[in-house]
Chain A
Amino acid sequence: MHKALKRYSPIFVLPTLLAFIIGFIIPFAQGLYLSFCKFTTVDNAQWVGFANYNVILKDASFLNSFKFTIVFAVVSIVLINVIAFGLALLLTKELRGTNIFRTVFFMPNLIGGIVLGYIWQILINCILSLASKPLLALNSSAGYWGLIILMCWQQIGYMMIIYIAGLQNVPSDLVEAAEIDGANAWDILWKIKLPMVMSSVTICVFLTLTNSFKLFDQNLALTGGDPNHSTEMLALNIYQTFYARAGALFKGYGQAKAVIFCILVIAISMLQLKLTKSKEVQQ
């Protein structure tokens, strides 16, 4: 049986593999090729070598949005994971109504990013207007914190569910043994629970990291990069490069930015995976 399965495995893999090649590998390769070209539509590209890369590495707006993305990513990763883990700890205790709370916290994740962005834009503008502060379109720090609040609100529930699953898998005999040995709650959390849920931490940090770097819809809807591109993250910057100016040149720049962006995100997330994976323990 096992052998037969093995023999036919290429056939079973084929549909998915084909879909993957058509839907991913080919466009990816084409995208890579186009980043070395000047083009209006994808089939009349004109090779320009590294010219696009030379220009964008000197592009101040790209570097600024890179900085803004990093500052945003660091704060949102920490906040989302700490709060989600805290909630997961609370909701794995034998409390009344934990199921309701889990559902409630998870719900924001079901709403699309654009919708969330506009809802929060109205909310935040209303508060800013009551406080007679400049509105979002003119207020980059409000835009920054607005994005953080929005992302926390959306992501915490999802990460919390992953942490809850991890915490429920911590063997109760280990916890009991530790209690008998006289460990307090703090020790149990740090020395038993946290190492045991390290695989959940890896997943959650990975997800929040890539989500923060790739953030687009929420950014577009909440601030649109205003004021003066100061709240523009990398993905939005790429989009603006592509569409805010006419002419074939800018398509190439946008594409080259997208390639750099892709390599960057892969590199950072691989580094993160390596770091957190080394902390995981086998049960």
Chain B
Amino acid sequence: MKNVKKLLALGLAVTMTASMLTGCGSSNDGAADADAKTDATDAAADTAADTEASAEGGSVYYLNFKPEQDQQWQDLAAKYTEETGVDVTVVTAASGEYETTLMSEMGKSGAPTMFQVNGPVGLANWKDYCYDLKDSAVYGELTSDDFALKDGDAVAGIAYVIESYGLITNKTLLDKAGYSVDDIKSFADLKKVAEDITARKDELGFAAFTSAGMDGSSDWRFKTHLANLPIYFEYQADGIGTTKEIKGTYLNNYRDIWDLYINNSTCDPSELAAKTGDDSRNEFLASQAVFFQNGSWEYGNLTADGTFTDDDLAMIPIYIGVGDEANQGLCTGTENYWCVNKDADAADIQATLDFMDWCVTSDEGTKAMGEDMGFVIPFKNAVESQNLFVKQDKEMTAEGKTPVSWNFPTMPSEEWKNGVGQALTAYAADQTDDNWEAVRSAFVDGWKSEYELVSQE
């Protein structure tokens, strides 16, 4: 009896403790969900395939990154299947779970034929799986070679959406404060306007900036998007596109703009550690602040329920007091690249290439991507976008302003971003030179050490 008990206890111990280990090896909930979805769509497609055989017998499995556009992708896939008989499955990973979902899906027999990476750093993970798109039709459709993600000579990824970010401005409030967007043409102007609004905060009833929340749902706006500006200007000054060692030439300007954000905001800087992305957006929607740093993807959220119309809003460049500010445009670029799985069946690869080409050349595809999903796509047949911020970006470029490119895909790792974010939060709570030194150290020294860590073989 005692032995049995002992054995039971041992079994229990092993099961309970080791479930942790298996957790790492097996798929997560998101993937399980994806499985169920795949099965369901497979079943549906089977019946369709009975009546109408697909061209080469290949099928497409697209693992989508953007949860906001899940429904539109599902609709587009259904339309494609209807038109060509080729089975297209679209599965969307939960927000923030793309890498984990992709990792477990890629390990399966029915792996995604089409997936995405976020730029050179993301590509490092997946380059062994990327089909060379050099000879594909979709590559020929790109408006510029800059939108291809290269791995040596091979074309590993194709950018499919271009986005812009800057300071989204509530023109009505700015008008109330006695200014217009034309008054802001440089960092000095921005500082003057913001500090004047803060000085008259009680009288006006609103603040200059929405809370620069450093919660995980919002901190990417500053540790990634805002940090892009000093990196961009440093790359420009040095004539490079990526580096192993960042110098931090413009970190003082980064500090200036961060000071401006946190000290002219809706809340006390020490509370920023807990402020979320929703907080910030809600403050903007409730007209509690004039400026809201975010991107063209927020357009839907801001206009959906009629809170704002195009006349109320504008997006202005983020000035940090460096370079030719008179000709600075919005931050425009991409971190969404389509890749094709090299290990998929030849027929599936062909089907995937055909699908991609259809998406960016056919009327249905371009219309769905441009209007339903609200994307600006860098392809020759793109339709005009209705997104105000996108239109503004176009206008600015037409006026001869230079867009600030997206350099954050060259940041060495998530860990680096977290380090900078952490230091920024600590600095916001207690704005001393020592705390800024910690930001500088996370930025410059962290870059070097993270780069060394991730590039070792």
CB distance from A82 to the nearest CB of B (A): 23
Which of the candidate stretches B81-89, B140-148, B174-182, B266-274 sits at the interface with the other chain?
A: B266-274
Is there contact, CB below 8 Å, between B99 and A245? no
- Residue B204, interface by CB 8 Å: no
Contact (Cβ within 8 A) A34 B422: no
B418 nearest in chain A by CB position: A244
Q: In angstroms, how far is the closest chain B Cβ from the Cβ of A146?
A: 13
Main SS at interface, chain B: helix
Interface residues on A, range: 35 or more
B22 at interface, CB cutoff 8 A: yes
User: Which of A135, A248, A254, A277 gathers most chain B CB within 10 Å?
Assistant: A135
Chain B residues positioned under 8 Å from A109 (CB to CB): none
Q: Are B414 and A245 in contact (CB under 8 A)?
A: yes
A129 contact set on B, CB distance < 8 A: 270-271, 274
CB contacts (< 8 Å) of A183 on chain B: these are: none
Q: How large is the interface on B (under 10, 10 to 19, 20 to 34, 35 or more residues)?
A: 35 or more
Contact call A24/B103, Cβ cutoff below 8 A: no
B residues within 8 A CB of A238?
24
CA A283 to CA B10, docked complex, whole Å: 23
CA of A266 to CA of B19, assembled, Å: 11
Q: Among the listed stretches B120-128, B288-296, B316-324, B377-385, which one makes contact with chain A, having 4 or more residues with CB under 8 Å of it?
A: B120-128
Q: How far is the CA of A32 from the CA of B18 in the complex (A)?
A: 11
Main secondary structure of the interface of A (DSSP, over half): helix
In the complex, chain B residues whose CB is within 8 Å of the CB of A27:
22, 25-26
- Mask, B208-231, CB within 8 Å of A = 1, is 000000111000000000000000
Quick one: given A40-B103, A41-B106, A245-B453, are A262 and B414 in contact (CB under 8 Å)?
no
Given A43-B107, A227-B422, A247-B124: A266 in contact with B270 (beta carbons within 8 A): no
B20 within 8 A of A: yes
Does B95 sit at the interface, judged by CB under 8 A? no
Annotate A88-101 by CB proximity to B: 1 below 8 A, 0 otherwise: 00000000000000
Chain B nearest CB: distance from A108 CB in Å? 21
B15 at the A interface (CB under 8 A): yes
* A243 is an interface residue with CB less than 8 A from chain B: yes
Q: In chain B, what residue has the closest Cβ to A137?
A: B273
B107 near A243: Cβ-Cβ < 8 Å: no
Interface residues of A in 90-148 (CB under 8 A from B): 121-122, 125, 129, 132, 134-138
Q: Is the CB of B107 within 8 A of A41?
A: yes
Task: Specify which chain A residues have a CB less than 8 angstroms from the CB of B18 in the assembled complex.
Answer: 24, 28, 262, 266
Known interface pairs A136-B274, A246-B454, A248-B125. Does A28 touch B422 (Cβ–Cβ under 8 Å)? no
Asked if B422 and A42 make an inter-chain contact with CB atoms under 8 angstroms apart, the answer reads no
Q: Is B413 an interface residue (CB 8 A)?
A: yes
- Whether A247 lies near B454 (C-beta < 8 A) is yes
Shortest C-beta distance, A269 to chain B (Å), equals: 5
A66 within 8 A of B: no
B122 to chain A, nearest CB (A): 6
* Residue of B whose beta carbon sits closest to that of A240: B415
Which A residues are within 8 Å of any B CB, using their own CB?
23-24, 27-28, 30-32, 34, 40-44, 121-122, 125, 129, 132, 134-138, 206, 210, 213-214, 224, 226-228, 235, 238, 240, 242-250, 254-255, 258-259, 261-262, 265-266, 269-270, 273, 277
Q: List 29 A-B contacts (CB under 8 A).
A: A27-B25, A27-B26, A28-B22, A40-B125, A40-B126, A41-B107, A129-B274, A134-B270, A135-B273, A137-B214, A137-B425, A138-B425, A210-B13, A213-B17, A242-B24, A243-B100, A245-B413, A245-B415, A245-B453, A246-B413, A247-B125, A258-B21, A258-B24, A261-B21, A266-B14, A269-B16, A270-B13, A273-B13, A277-B9
14 A-B pairs besides A31-B22, A244-B414, A265-B17 with CB distance below 8 A are A24-B15, A30-B25, A32-B21, A40-B125, A42-B107, A122-B274, A125-B273, A132-B270, A210-B13, A228-B419, A228-B422, A243-B100, A246-B121, A266-B13
